[in-house]
Amino acid sequence: CPAPPRRPYSPPDTAPRDPEAEEDAAMAAFEEASGIKFRHFGLLRQAFTHPSVYHAVVAPGLGTGWHPSARVPLGHGAVAGGVDPRLHNQRLEWLGDALLNLAACDFALHYFPESHEEPVTLLRTALVNNAVLIGAAVRCGMHRCVRHKDALFEEEGSRTRGKMLADAFEAFLGALYLDRQPLGLGLAAVKAFTAATLFEEETDATVDERRWMDPKARLQHCLNEFSALTGARLSKTFELLEEFGPAHERMYVVGCYINGALVASARGLSITDAQMGAALRALESLHLAPEEPEEPEEGEV
């Protein structure tokens, strides 16, 4: 049975650039600075639009809150505030996440041409974590383009701001792919952009400073080496000890145990972050942590 023919992707936002709109002007400046001119500007606008925009919009006859696109047959600028509630960047972020991982796999494979799977996997993971994406988004100027209705975005270092920037970076990759796909250049454009703005910027420092092994992976590697040398079996586990704070800024405290004994604990804005902190403190307590780099990382938010 032959597969049905694929139709080219049709951007839901067909509105052209509006030189009078401040938001569009910021995105046009981003295009100029990056050297990437979008064929469909609506894709770029969608990539930088956070869902909070729609929760704040009041659509005639629908009230506030989220509304599925199929049930809101309104054109661009047809509702309060000049915002069309059909669009958001989460679909593009979903696509961009897959593209980013593919591009990172390709880059890591070429960076370690003779290595087995483990170091290639660790490098890929290190290159696509949220902290790295946030730094890349800021260096590119994406933080000036994000459309949102969340006051927490304006707070430097907030969890909400960081997640919005990381999502925007991935959504941009999805938009870039779709914009270049009809020309047969979608994946090539994504690989070129990620190499120039992310991988080439981060990889050497990541490897030199051993950031390609996150604290959990580094701790496991050290325990495996100790077990191989001594014959003593060592295993690590993590346990959630405490959680507190409001829902949007929840704080978690996690303990790191080796063979059932508590070695270190740390807190973070997610369980994963707290686990990483606890693993790092365990490495420090065992005198296995690498030396700190002389200069702070660029792109901190």
| Catalytic residue positions, numbered | 97, 170
Structure tokens at 198: 């992310």
**Cα separations in angstroms, 36 against 29, 107, 173:** 10, 21, 12
Within 10 angstroms of residue 226's Cβ, the number of other Cβ atoms is 15
Report angle CA 275, 278, 282 to the nearest 5 degrees: 135
Strands, E, within 222-292: which ranges? 236-244, 251-258, 261-268
- Which residues have CB under 8 Å from 34's CB, separation 6+? 140, 141, 193
- Phi and psi at 38, nearest 5°, equal -80, 135
d(CA 190, CA 172): 9
Structure tokens at 58: 């009041």
Task: Give the N- to C-terminal CA distance of the chain in Å, as an integer.
Answer: 52
Whether the Cβ atoms of residue 161 and residue 130 lie closer than 8 Å to each other: no
Structure tokens at 133: 């994406």
